[in-house]
Amino acid sequence: MSDLPKRVRIREVGPREGFQFEKGAISLADKVSLVDALSDTGVGTIEFTSFVSPKWVPQMADAEQVVAGIRRAPGVAYEAIWLNEAGLERAARLRDVLALRPMFSVAASDTFMRKNTNCSVEERLAELPGWAERYRALGMDWLDVGVMAAFGCNYEGDVEPRRVVTVLQQVEQRAQACGARLGGIGLADTMGWANPLEVKRLVGAVRERWPEARLKLHLHDTRALAIANAVAALELGVDCFDSAVAGMGGCPFAAHKGAAGNVTTEDLVFLCQELGIATGIDLDRMIAAGQLAERVVGHPLPGKLKSGGNLATYRATSRAART
Amino acid sequence: MSDLPKRVRIREVGPREGFQFEKGAISLADKVSLVDALSDTGVGTIEFTSFVSPKWVPQMADAEQVVAGIRRAPGVAYEAIWLNEAGLERAARLRDVLALRPMFSVAASDTFMRKNTNCSVEERLAELPGWAERYRALGMDWLDVGVMAAFGCNYEGDVEPRRVVTVLQQVEQRAQACGARLGGIGLADTMGWANPLEVKRLVGAVRERWPEARLKLHLHDTRALAIANAVAALELGVDCFDSAVAGMGGCPFAAHKGAAGNVTTEDLVFLCQELGIATGIDLDRMIAAGQLAERVVGHPLPGKLKSGGNLATYRATSRAART
């Protein structure tokens, strides 16, 4: 495991992924309290809301109020997402608070693209110049590309690495054609198809073509392999991961209700702690934030550390008992 | 990952680990139905009850009735555990049904040994000749040794591999002194202290000293790393694992109630399927057994596949859709 990175950057996406998934209403105060608790953990980025139509995602109708309500901690980037021009305009009006990123997401599966976003991959690619133009107007001349369903798709089956590389090449060509460059590359295991061997294959294939690009993995724990997949990525030196406190969120495309969503932040931080990899995150505070998340949503969430406890605490207690 | 075994042997321990952990009463019929469902999965071994004092473990008071009630499937070894001579005598009376194994368990932590078994490690080792004698009388001239808390202990902290090797050497010396040999070696992460690096260190240290011994890992998912730890062991060719259907069981020594117990059988079988490792287990049937286990205990259990679903099903559907 000699290629383990010394330091890993974790992007907390729990509030953004999680709240939209809840059936019951979550109060503005509860949303703000969770983001504030996360702000005190040492995490560098918190993706905490979406500027989307309240008609489709009623849980995110209060996005502006959440932005206005949170306490801004020094050194934390507060991020949000948008799916169309109207959403970006709403976010851009709040750019004194929000860290805007020039996101462009596309799926490696046409069927998933249609189910999730109501357009084909080709139609999405045709939208690229418009996005590049809008981002340029906001001072950003690159695109951070996220590839959804990068390992497999419940509708189309396994996704071969060469398909992901092809999609990324198409994005790069269209970006260059309108004067934008390819920024970071995010690979999302949206429906839980990855395994450690496939993580190594895909990361290897993308690295071979774009050796300098910053890779980010977005892993779902739908089928219990998310932490093992993170280990496989860490072994290749991947140093940026999305994760969700307490394992908030879920997967609307799974076979049965109750399927797990994103890899759990505190479990991933614990993994890094045990492997000697710095995250800058205070694990005890992240565990407390996970316990708060569970109280806020009002039902059990899948993360393990919030019940298992931090080994650092046991180590300190057992040392004290020996002396 | 070139040392991945071609085939892995999974020992199902859910009924034995899980039922004793439940607060509510589980009916005899429900216990039998779960064992019968497991018998149809293709799993080779089912450890399904304990011959222990009903005073301490009331949930196991019906051990004899469960043994009498189950349907015996060809090719399945039905195992049970015991902690003292009276328990072994009860099991031995049923040896036309039960597969007896000459178990000898000891902890790598003295404090854990006392908390769990009410004796010191030295006292346990002093009992060895008596166990060897009893097993010999039953026709078994070896000892299968299980080391509990082999990676760490909530009371004593991290456990170094050399401590495990020392305990195993003590067992071997005492066994040889009374004419018994060391059989299989089980390494149990009883309280969830292992991580992939430590799995490789400990397996390496034990292999170096006993290159021919069959190793078995017993991994708990207290802190979310059980599947990643299994991957680390598989990468070293370890080919025998305990696991519990649906993730039944728990850990009475964890910081908070609700901590996870054994690695989940169907999740481990899925991992093997995705890595191309044979288990002989029908994953869909094991998922169905996991769903049954959840109905029997009447509350959610931690396994993921029972909600996430088997990718083989999605692959078949997406292939059919393409043709």
Q: Which residues of A touch B275 (CB under 8 A)?
A: 195-197
Extract the tokens encoding A103: 């996101």
Extract the tokens encoding A160: 């071969």
CB B73 within 8 A of CB B40: yes
- CA torsion sign for A202, A203, A204, A210 is positive
CA A98 and chain centroid, separation = 16
Distance separating alpha carbons of residues B67 and B73, to the nearest angstrom: 13
Distance separating alpha carbons of residues A59 and A93, to the nearest angstrom: 20
Q: Which of A64, A290, A302, A15 is nearest to B306 (CA)?
A: A302
Closest partner CB to A222 (pick from B155, B200, B308): B308
**CA angle, A34 as apex, A215 and B192 as ends, to 5°?**
65
Closest partner CB to A224 (pick from B153, B227, B275): B227
Q: So what's the pLDDT on residue B72?
A: 97
Q: Which residues of B touch A198 (CB under 8 A)?
A: 274
Q: Identify the band that residue A243 occupies on the pLDDT scale cut at 50, 70 and 90.
A: very high
Q: So what's the pLDDT on residue A1?
A: 61
CB pair distance less than 8 Å for A270 and B223: yes
What does the pLDDT average to over B47-66? 93
Q: What is the dihedral of CA A104, A128, A252, A202, to 10 degrees?
A: -60
Distance separating alpha carbons of residues A226 and B234, to the nearest angstrom: 17
CB B315 within 8 A of CB B293: no
CA of A307 to nearest chain B CA: how many angstroms apart?
A: 5
Q: Which residues contact A239 (CB under 8 A, 6 or more apart)?
A: A5, A7, A8, A9
Question: Which residues make beta-bridge pairs with A9?
Answer: A240
* CA closest to A200 among chain B residues: B1
- Please provide the average confidence, as pLDDT, over all residues in chain A: 95
Q: What is the pLDDT of residues B169-191, one digit of tens each?
A: 999 999 999 999 999 999 999 99
Extract the tokens encoding A66: 């959440």
Whether B194 shows a pLDDT value over 70: the answer reads yes
Give the B window 156-185 contacts with A, CB below 8 Å: 156-158
Distance separating alpha carbons of residues A239 and B249, to the nearest angstrom: 34
SS3 B192: coil
Q: So what's the pLDDT on residue B3?
A: 87
CB count in 10 Å sphere of residue B309: 23
Closest partner CB to B222 (pick from A232, A259, A308): A308
Q: Which residues of A touch B227 (CB under 8 A)?
A: 224-225, 227-228
**CA angle, B181 as apex, B107 and B140 as ends, to 5°?**
100
Q: What is the pLDDT of residues A128-146, one digit of tens each?
A: 999 999 999 999 999 999 9
Q: What is the pLDDT of residues B64-95, one digit of tens each?
A: 999 999 999 999 999 999 999 999 999 999 99
Whether B2 shows a pLDDT value over 80: the answer reads no
Radius of gyration for the alpha carbons in chain B, expressed in angstroms and rounded: 19
Q: Which residues contact B71 (CB under 8 A, 6 or more apart)?
A: B36, B39
Helix (H) or strand (E) holding A206: helix A196-209
Whether B259 shows a pLDDT value over 80: the answer reads no
Domains in chain A with CATH codes: 1-100+244-323 (3.20.20.70), 102-239 (3.20.20.70)
Question: Which residues make beta-bridge pairs with B186?
Answer: B146, B216
Give the B window 283-312 contacts with A, CB below 8 Å: 300, 302-311
Q: Which residues contact B86 (CB under 8 A, 6 or more apart)?
A: B51, B53
Helix (H) or strand (E) holding A32: helix A28-39
Backbone angles phi, psi at B105, to 5 degrees: -115, 145
CA of A158 to nearest chain B CA: how many angstroms apart?
A: 7
Q: So what's the pLDDT on residue A237?
A: 97
CB A248 within 8 A of CB A261: yes
Global pTM value: 0.97
Q: Which residues of B touch A230 (CB under 8 A)?
A: 228
SS3 A279: coil
Q: Identify the band that residue A256 occupies on the pLDDT scale cut at 50, 70 and 90.
A: low
Where helices occur in chain A by DSSP H, the ranges are 14-19, 28-39, 63-69, 85-92, 110-117, 121-137, 161-177, 196-209, 226-235, 265-275, 283-297, 305-308, 311-322
CB count in 10 Å sphere of residue B263: 28
What percentage of chain A has pLDDT greater than the value 90? 89
What percentage of chain B has pLDDT greater than the value 90? 89
Whether B99 shows a pLDDT value over 80: the answer reads yes
CB pair distance less than 8 Å for A1 and B275: no
B153 catalytically annotated: no
CB B44 within 8 A of CB B9: yes
What does the pLDDT average to over B84-110? 97
Distance separating alpha carbons of residues B138 and B36, to the nearest angstrom: 27
Q: Which residues of B touch A227 (CB under 8 A)?
A: 224-225, 227-228
Q: What is the dihedral of CA B310, B316, B321, B323, to 10 degrees?
A: 170
Q: So what's the pLDDT on residue A56?
A: 86
Catalytic entry in B119, B153, B240, B251 = B251
CA of A129 to nearest chain B CA: how many angstroms apart?
A: 32
Does residue A256 belong to the interface with chain B, where contact is any CB pair within 8 Å? yes
* Mutual angle of helices B196-209 and B226-235, in 10-degree steps: 40
Q: What is the 3-state secondary structure (H, E, C) of A90-158?
A: HHHCCCCCCCCCCEEEEECCHHHHHHHHCCCHHHHHHHHHHHHHHHHHCCCCEEEEEEECCCEECCCEE
Closest partner CB to A224 (pick from B156, B198, B267): B267
What does the pLDDT average to over A271-283? 98
Closest partner CB to A227 (pick from B198, B224, B306): B224
Distance separating alpha carbons of residues B216 and B91, to the nearest angstrom: 23
Distance separating alpha carbons of residues B294 and B37, to the nearest angstrom: 13
Q: Which of B286, B291, B298, B297 is nearest to B12 (CA)?
A: B286
Distance separating alpha carbons of residues A191 and A189, to the nearest angstrom: 6
Q: So what's the pLDDT on residue B323?
A: 74
What does the pLDDT average to over B121-143? 98
Q: So what's the pLDDT on residue B56?
A: 86
CB pair distance less than 8 Å for A228 and B223: no
Q: What is the pLDDT of residues A41-60, one digit of tens each?
A: 999 999 999 999 999 888 99
Which of B109, B234, B304 best tests the A interface by mutation, with the highest count of A CBs <10 A? B304
Backbone angles phi, psi at B43, to 5 degrees: -65, 145
Q: Which residues of B touch A303 (CB under 8 A)?
A: 224
CB A208 within 8 A of CB A177: no
- CA torsion sign for B58, B59, B63, B68 is positive
Q: What is the pLDDT of residues B10-25, one digit of tens each?
A: 999 999 999 988 888 8
Which residue type is seen at A139?
Answer: G
Q: Identify the band that residue A23 occupies on the pLDDT scale cut at 50, 70 and 90.
A: confident
Q: So what's the pLDDT on residue A2?
A: 63
Does residue A84 belong to the interface with chain B, where contact is any CB pair within 8 Å? no
CB B79 within 8 A of CB B46: yes
CB pair distance less than 8 Å for B231 and A196: yes
Backbone angles phi, psi at B32, to 5 degrees: -65, -40
What percentage of chain B has pLDDT greater than the value 70? 98
CA A231 and chain centroid, separation = 17
Does residue B196 belong to the interface with chain A, where contact is any CB pair within 8 Å? yes
Which of B3, B318, B322, B323 best tests the A interface by mutation, with the highest count of A CBs <10 A? B318
Closest partner CB to A231 (pick from B228, B306, B313): B228
Q: Identify the band that residue A262 occupies on the pLDDT scale cut at 50, 70 and 90.
A: very high
Q: Which residues of B touch A196 (CB under 8 A)?
A: 1, 231, 275
CB pair distance less than 8 Å for A256 and B223: no
Whether A226 shows a pLDDT value over 80: the answer reads yes
Sort strands B152-153 and B157-158 into parallel, antiparallel or unpaired. antiparallel
What does the pLDDT average to over A311-315? 95
Q: Which residues of A touch B258 (CB under 8 A)?
A: 300, 307
Q: So what's the pLDDT on residue A50?
A: 95
Q: Identify the band that residue B164 occupies on the pLDDT scale cut at 50, 70 and 90.
A: very high
